Amino acid sequence: MTKGGFQHESWQAANQIEGGKAMFKKLKLDGKIIRQFLIVCIGSEAIYFMYAIRNVLYEPYREMLGLSHTQIGFVLSMMGMIAFFGGIPSAWVLNRFSARKLQSINLVVTGLTGFYLISGHVTYVGMLIVGVIWGFSMEAFYWGAVTKSIRCMAPDDAQGIAFGTMEFTRGCVNMVLSAVATAIFIGMGETVGGIQLALGLAAGFLILMGILTFAFLPEEDFLKADTAAGKNKESFKGVVKCLKIPQLWLVGLMGMGVYAVYLGCSLFLPFLQNVMAVPVSLVAVFGIASSNWVRMASGPISGLIGNKLFKSSASLMRILFLGGMIILGVIIAVPKETNMVWPITILLIVLQVFVYMLRGVYYAPIGESGIPKEVSGSAMAVAILLIQSPMLWAFAFYGWLIDRYPGSKGYMMMFGIMLGLYAVGFIASCILLGIIKRKGLKVNMDEAEEPASQV
């Protein structure tokens, strides 16, 4: 491995993380692949800035669009519906077309929508159309291509480290983009013009990332057919092949539990404030720490621990599921009194560490459990469809519980559901490990038959 990837000025922060060099070394990537890895990771976080900026500048963002809270909510709901149902055809699309083409096209398309956002002529109908576009360009036809790239880029024995490092890198990008946008907004007198400039620069950056992606990522060559009709048929067969692999369903089931708990983490803040009577200032500190620093640290840690200590990400996930179940059980059991504020707060922080550690590696078992690389696009699409399915019910159901059962009861019921989801994940991880052990899987099956060029 060369040091070139670490000398890039945009990633000096990575040098300050002890063990960062070891992570890339373990990935067995040369300077060229490290550059491709960083391009994929940077683009995979920057693309969500078009709407994620509302997390730090919500009111200016809403004022710029001229929409109500409800209208913005409907736009994001539209995006979520398209993302989920668009995942069905994406199982074929991700096999049929290269990750390079899909990523570059979707980055450029999303960047172009950014110029509409800052045009000053935004309408509600127009934003609903944007929501549909985002559902495809950020999720259905994009995220699977990203995970396909990372899965094919790293060796099978370093999948956990690859996805963990990706999560760390994305956390860095999110923090930098949010800081720059806030600085521009403040520098321009906290006016709508400030957020328009920030979004305009972000839109241009996305288009640039699309060009770089097309220029530097290679084409995969997994399809053997020569004609378009043949490639279409072969891609469909890949989808069918994936659906018959039990490991993929187990990985999806494990990830679904993680994602459902992750979505519920946003309700930890009102729980602390409304049930435990934690001051708003401390709740804010908890929110900042859990959303940025915990995310950045947990991803690479989970990758390294899973690889070095447990020898597989599935083994690490089994332990994390068990630890999460214990923490949730304790939170449910202890009295919600003033003297328990700090113990419960600490337990929630640890639980979020576990959540982000699980998120950092929940795609890794796809590469570790013998799923062929030539159908990795379909495999990722199916896994994402299963993993992200809680988007359809989690927010609404958790919110209903809290409204229907005021006070601590609704939250305790939510924590109980989370405990059950982790129990399902624990059982699924045990079954997956049994399959891996029984088959003696150490490398990707089918690799020995005919090597394919990798992203």
> Whole-number mean pLDDT of the chain?
81
pLDDT of residue 443: 37
For the cut 70, the answer to whether the pLDDT of residue 33 exceeds it is: yes
* Model confidence pLDDT, tens digit, residues 50-68: 888 876 787 888 889 998 8
* Model confidence pLDDT, tens digit, residues 258-273: 999 998 887 888 888 8
- pLDDT-derived band at 317 (thresholds 50, 70, 90) equals very high
pLDDT of residue 29: 59
- When pLDDT is averaged across residues 420-427 and rounded to a whole number, the result is 97
- pLDDT-derived band at 20 (thresholds 50, 70, 90) equals very low
Nearest to 358 by CA among 245, 248, 247, 251: 251
Long-range own/partner contacts, residues 401-410 (CB < 8 A, 24 or more apart): 402/267, 402/270, 407/275, 408/275, 408/336
- pLDDT-derived band at 284 (thresholds 50, 70, 90) equals low
pLDDT of residue 312: 78
Of residues 98 and 157, which shows the higher confidence score? 98
- pLDDT-derived band at 11 (thresholds 50, 70, 90) equals very low
For the cut 80, the answer to whether the pLDDT of residue 455 exceeds it is: no
Q: How many Å is the Cα radius of gyration of the chain?
A: 22
Nearest to 258 by CA among 305, 318, 344, 308: 318
Assign domain 17-439 to a CATH class.
mainly alpha
The total of other beta-carbon atoms located within 10 Å of residue 454's CB is: 17
Strands (E), 153-231: none
Q: Enumerate the domain spans of the chain.
A: 17-439
- When pLDDT is averaged across residues 215-233 and rounded to a whole number, the result is 71
- When pLDDT is averaged across residues 82-108 and rounded to a whole number, the result is 85
* Model confidence pLDDT, tens digit, residues 170-219: 888 888 888 888 888 888 888 889 989 999 999 999 999 999 999 999 88
